């Protein structure tokens, strides 16, 4: 019988029809459905898998013997869309059902343009990525935003870092657009999830995003721990004594953010040097060994490490990961580590992993892909 034989094509077509009607069928179930022998179905399914039209998707519950593999149409494996947004930059991803990245796109954005302008343009870009890869619609979507998130509403819970975004229904916007489940998460939480999942053998971790602002995400058992109001890990506005009572964006003074965030350090650097280049110049100068820049980042790392001692002592995580731009400076990282070792009980630090985040610029988007896969309906 040749591959073009009408009888063979007919069985192929009937098998594809049956899998469209009943995803997760097994070979014996398909044989019963079509009224042909299991050996014929096995042979034809083998050909359809080789042609990339059908995939094995799991195992059916065993009825005594070896469990049968379940089958699905390859086209039913809808991809996921993920975005990690900063205030000026966004990284968008299209990924397969199994997390394999198909496309990554970097965009310069301006969140101050507001969600009514920015979100439709992001969705248009998502649409172009789907079209480029021949995909019709996503199975789920995850959007990371640089601000506090109301986990029940899927919206931004404060306009302090995202003016004009407070209460805008981000989750609803993408749910209406794609008719798929949508998760809206804080960027530091997604970075924490992405970094956590990049390591094996750890159950709980803290991840610090030491960028222009300071953020901390908590992951327990491979899931984001949000807390009662979505603010778990937010230690940026804890008051630190001896900071010179710098005013903070939250309206208070002397917050951890005013001594550790890249934005605050850039301001200090400009004041001390009379320049205007801010954080980028500070980081470059510290890497070059400039004594003043090194001192500023050493102090910031020590302050952060001291604050993390309380969290690590309370939470006893397997790992503390430090990401964000400041983590690229060795003296900053070494000072965090030293303060943790000095300030924590040895039982806390005995096996504690303290490392620079390994996922770099991709941590947030990897976390967003993982979160999108988590909420995706399973066939
Ligand atoms: Zn504050």
Q: What is the mean pLDDT of each run of 10 residues along the chain (379 residues)?
A: 63 88 86 91 91 78 76 79 92 91 94 95 96 86 92 82 89 94 94 96 94 91 90 87 79 90 92 90 95 96 95 94 92 97 95 94 95 82
pLDDT for the residue numbered 4:
54
Note the pLDDT of residue 51.
82
Distance 119 CA to ligand 1 centre (A): 28
In angstroms, what is the span from residue 266 Cα to ligand 1's centroid?
17
CA of 215 to the centre of ligand 1 (A): 12
pLDDT on residue 20: 79
So what's the pLDDT on residue 1?
47
State the Cα–Cα distance between residues 165 and 155, nearest whole angstrom. 8
CA–centroid distance, residue 248 to ligand 1 (Å) = 4
Task: Please report the pLDDT score of residue 378 as a whole number.
Answer: 61
pTM over 0.85? The answer is no
**CA 356 to CA 251: how far, in whole Å?**
31
Ligand 1 centre distance from Cα of residue 19 (Å): 56
pLDDT, residue 245, reads 77
Residue 192's pLDDT is what? 96
- What DSSP string describes 326-366? GGGSHHHHHHHHHHHHHHS-HHHHSS-EEEE-SSGGGHHHH
Could you report the per-residue pLDDT of 119-161, keeping only the tens digit for each?
999 999 999 999 998 787 899 999 999 888 988 888 988 767 7
> Among residues 96, 13, 50, which one has the least CA distance to residue 21?
13
pLDDT of res. 283: 95
DSSP type of residue 239: B
Of 243, 237, 248, 280, the closest CA to residue 262 belongs to 280
300 Cα to the center of ligand 1, angstroms: 16
pLDDT at 353: 96
Distance 23 CA to ligand 1 centre (A): 52
Ligand 1 centroid, distance to 245 Cα (angstroms): 11
Q: How far is the CA of 148 from the centre of ligand 1 (A)?
A: 14
Q: What pLDDT is recorded for position 314? A: 92
Output the CA 247–ligand 1 centroid distance in Å.
8
Q: How many CB atoms lie within 10 A of CB 341?
A: 15
Q: How far is the CA of 336 from the centre of ligand 1 (A)?
A: 20
CA of 298 to the centre of ligand 1 (A): 21
Centre of ligand 1 to C-alpha 157, Å, is 16
Closest CA to 48 of 71, 76, 80, 28: 71
pLDDT of residue 143: 97
Q: What integer pLDDT is reported at residue 96 of this predicted model? A: 87
Give CA separation, 290 vs 52, 131, 281, 283, in Å. Answer: 57, 49, 11, 10
How far, in Å, from the CA of 251 to the mean position of ligand 1? 6
Residues in the chain: 379
Q: Identify the structural domains of the chain with CATH numbers, from first to last.
A: 6-76 (1.10.10.10), 80-191+364-375 (3.30.420.40), 201-358 (3.30.420.40)
Chain CA centroid to CA 360, Å: 12
> Distance from the CA of 167 to the center of ligand 1, in angstroms?
21
| Listed residue (261, 255, 223) closest to 373, CA to CA | 223
322/200 Cα distance (integer angstroms): 17
279 alpha carbon – ligand 1 mean position (Å): 19
């Amino acid at each position: 019988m040749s591959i073009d034989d009408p009888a063979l094509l007919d069985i192929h077509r009937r098998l594809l029809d049956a899998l469209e009607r009943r995803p997760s069928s097994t070979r014996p179930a398909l044989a019963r459905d079509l009224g042909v022998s299991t050996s014929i179905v096995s042979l034809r399914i083998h050909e359809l898998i080789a042609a990339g039209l059908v995939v094995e998707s799991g195992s059916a519950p065993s009825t005594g013997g070896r469990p049968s593999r379940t089958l699905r149409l390859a086209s039913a494996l809808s991809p996921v869309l993920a975005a990690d947004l900063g205030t000026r930059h966004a990284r968008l991803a299209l990924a397969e059902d199994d997390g394999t990245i198909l496309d990554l796109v970097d965009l310069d954005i301006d969140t101050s343009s507001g969600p009514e302008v920015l979100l439709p343009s992001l969705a248009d870009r998502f649409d172009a990525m789907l079209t480029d890869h021949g995909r019709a619609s996503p199975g789920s979507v995850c959007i990371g935003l640089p601000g506090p998130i109301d986990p029940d509403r899927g919206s931004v819970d404060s306009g302090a870092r995202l003016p004009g975004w407070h209460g805008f229904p981000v989750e609803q916007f993408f749910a209406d657009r794609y008719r798929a489940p949508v998760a809206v998460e804080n960027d530091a939480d997604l970075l924490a999830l992405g970094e956590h999942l990049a390591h094996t053998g750890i159950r709980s971790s803290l991840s610090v995003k030491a960028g222009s602002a300071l953020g901390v995400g908590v992951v327990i058992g491979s899931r984001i721990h949000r807390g009662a109001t979505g603010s778990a890990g937010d230690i940026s506005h804890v008051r630190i004594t001896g900071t010179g009572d710098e005013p903070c964006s939250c309206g208070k003074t002397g917050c951890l953010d005013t001594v550790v965030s890249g934005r605050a350090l850039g301001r200090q650097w400009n004041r001390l040097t009379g320049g205007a280049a801010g954080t980028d110049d500070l980081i470059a100068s510290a890497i070059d060994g400039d004594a003043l820049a090194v001192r500023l980042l050493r102090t910031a790392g020590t302050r952060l490490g001291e604050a993390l001692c309380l969290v690590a002592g309370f939470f006893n995580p397997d790992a503390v990961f430090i990401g964000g731009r400041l983590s690229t400076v060795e003296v900053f990282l070494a000072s965090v580590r030293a303060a943790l070792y000095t300030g924590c009980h040895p039982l806390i630090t005995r096996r504690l992993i303290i490392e620079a985040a390994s996922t770099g610029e991709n941590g947030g988007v990897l976390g967003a892909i993982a979160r999108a896969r988590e909420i995706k309906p399973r066939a």
